[in-house]
Chain A
Amino acid sequence: MVSTIAAQPIQELLAKGLVWQGQQQLEDSAQRYLSTGYPELDKTLGGGWLAGSVNELQLAQNYSGELALLLPLLREVTGTVWLNPPQEPYAPGWHHQQLDITQQYVIRTETERDALWALQQSLQAGCMPVVLAWFASLSATAVRLIQQCAQQHQVTVFVFTSEQSQTEARAYTNRLLLERSAKGFFVNVLKRRYGWPLPPFPCAVDRHLPKRRLAKATAQVVHGPW
């Protein structure tokens, strides 16, 4: 049996659909993608954020541009849950970014158990299309459960964690490491659907942020005290 298959030319097997090709993106019409607002990111993620998925955003540092990365998405949806953000989301800032601030719901919990419960409730409610959650770390079981729940209720979840040194497998749809250096904001795809991990590539999140002076000019700025 094995030998007969081996004897067939590869093209024939391809035509029969017996060989799965990793590079070819599966067009699944049932799946809905939400544009990230960044063409280069859309391309690497196969069309954008998958609706009803759980995405891990590892942050080298907080506040480096992770919200600017999600800003185009947040503008599009009505109803965002903020679960244990590290600081207060500042309404005037979001207002300036043309976000509907009446649709932002902040939840603060004391324990991780409560946080997971609140996350589960937010997913089950089905009325909040996007959930942003900050966790120190999540167990593989927790991620799998969140993934199932998110998929069932078609809620897109973003889990913000610090940079994870261990590369233990998790059921996230995408795992991205976000980094900022003097050269700009970089996205490092650690895991994605239908593709290999990618080396860091720059993402133009800065167009949503106050204008930066050119690196050259920055270098000339006299350091304080003023």
Chain B
Amino acid sequence: MAPGNALRQSNKWLFLHAPQLLLDFQLTLQAPAQQQQPQALVCQQRQCLLQLNSAAQQAGLHPGQSLAVARSLCAELEVRLYQELQEQQLLRQLAHAFYQDIAQIALFPPQGLLFEVRSLQRLYGSLAQLQQRLQQRLQHWQLTASLASGFSPLAAQLLAQAGVNIVTGEAELVTAQLGQLPLSKTTLAPEVQKRLTGVGIQHVAALLALPASSLSQRFGKPMSHYLAALRGQVQAPQHYYRPPPYFYQRVDLLSETSDWPRLVFVLKRMLKNLEDFLCARQLCTRELVIDAHHRNKECTRLHIRFAHDSWQQADMLSLCQLHMERQPLQTPALELSLKVTRLRPLRAEPQDMLTTEHGRWTPAELLSRLQARLGETAVYRLGLTSEQRPDRAQQSVRASQKVSTVTVKSRVRPLWLLTEPEPVAINEFTRQWGPERIDSGWWDNHHLQRDYYIGLDAHARQAWLFRDQRGWFLHGWFG
């Protein structure tokens, strides 16, 4: 069977393979000088190298090498454990970034993404334009990755994983490239590969040239399924990526630190990602949760609330800075995570646009800044309740709360209220007005029965006094 015959179809798929996803990302968080140091991620179980930066590669190291050999070749090699979960998380983020350009993305953990591109041809005009777009994104992420087209998901995957960069609409070109792949680059089980080599099949081309029925007779059903998938004759259902309804990012700081400038550096990048996330969905937030993860301790949680809708990196960063200046980290942190679960639609508020001139803040922005540095309880607005009891007739309204409007009967009340009534000697006051009896709260445990008076003190100031069974108290001041 001529391969072209079965494969006469356009390249519908594009596969992105980033072999150093985790390491590349870690490098972007480092200062340039540190990036030049040879670094590697190692597998804990097999004690071998998995991902290497360019400095390590120049030192003659390559993936798969055992750690002992690597150490003897390159003494200054900086080694970290490979974290599979982190890479998965990262892949999801990457998918999210590409979600801006491509609607149908399937995750191929740990390092691959499959894009369905045929439906995008009309949008981008040509594959070349789409490719350009994707390359820009890769550059932004500073990722080394290979990008390969394919008429089937598997074909594209095999090419990309083999490190072939080929973006084309021509199925023939893909077939040619695919044919050159040795069997070791396929995802066939090792024992099947061995048997195939045993019968003299070295390359994919030879495999594809054989009739499917005889192969399946000899190698069983799985083999024919594999080939059908490779040719694109069966379409395995893909689970396309759907962006999560919240934002979460966790970043390894690479070394323990409680150093503020370094944390800011990392936080800045995370907030930039958050901004992209929010912008793409036209959302904003009023709440960030930043966790600093320590080595042997519960993580330190920083809950940052804004009084206004926020989505810009600079805005959020300045508020986070104020927060962190107020509560510096006591213990050095290993990792930093940022979580935003409460998202709200971004609305232009016409009222604000009209009233705020250029360079002026809204009251909510001011409150956000103030409470970021001074603490949440340090800033509040006045509010009324419908309570009769003087202490409860007012409430402080937190910056992020809405003021509930209650209609309250207006009574003669002082402008100042003492938080705790102060016992006084009544003969120092001159009674001017009263009494007003307040008898309320018998239904809960704070029954209150008081007679209120207005009296003048020695300085002729008007005081709000009351008498109850315990005696005379000063409760407020007029003026």
Contact = CB atoms under 8 A, between A and B. Distances in A.
Contact of B415 (A93, A107, A117, A223): A93
Interface residues of B, number: 59
B378 A127 contact: no
A104 B366 contact: no
Interface string A169-199: 0000000000011100000000000000000
B87 to A, nearest CB: 43
A206 to B, nearest CB: 9
Interface string B351-374: 000001101111101110110011
Contacts of A205: 479
Interface string B223-259: 0000000000000000000000000000000000000
A109 B374 CA distance: 7
A106 B432 CA distance: 31
A93 B403 contact: no
A121 interface: yes
Contacts of B373: 114, 117-118
A122 interface: yes
A189 B471 CA distance: 41
Interface size class of A (residues with CB under 8 A): 35 or more
B432 A104 contact: no
B33 interface: no
Chain B at the A interface: mostly helix, strand, loop or mixed? mixed
Given A106-B381, A218-B430, A96 B410 contact: yes
Contacts of B415: 67-68, 89-90, 93-94, 97
Contacts of A209: 462, 478-479
Interface string B455-468: 01001111000010
Contacts of A213: 432
A39 interface: no
Contacts of A109: 374, 378
A147 to B, nearest CB: 20
A63 B416 contact: yes
Contact of A180 (B395, B432, B454, B459): B459
A93 B460 contact: no
Interface string B331-364: 0000000000000000000000000110111110
A79 interface: yes
Given A63-B461, A102-B403, A93 B413 contact: yes
Contacts of B478: 63, 68, 93, 209-210
Interface string B383-399: 11000001001111000
Contacts of A63: 416, 461, 477-479
A61 B459 contact: yes
A226 B394 CA distance: 30
Given A63-B477, A106-B396, A96 B370 contact: no
A88 B432 contact: no
A151 interface: no
A67 to B, nearest CB: 5
A48 interface: no
A127 B362 contact: yes
Nearest to A69: B479
A87 B366 contact: no
A91 interface: yes
A65 interface: yes
B219 interface: no
Interface string B424-462: 001101111100000000000000000000101001111
Q: Nearest 10 pairs between A and B by C-beta? A: A63-B477, A91-B394, A90-B417, A65-B479, A93-B413, A125-B366, A224-B426, A126-B360, A92-B413, A125-B361
9 contacts: A95-B408, A102-B403, A104-B381, A108-B378, A109-B374, A127-B360, A127-B362, A221-B431, A226-B467
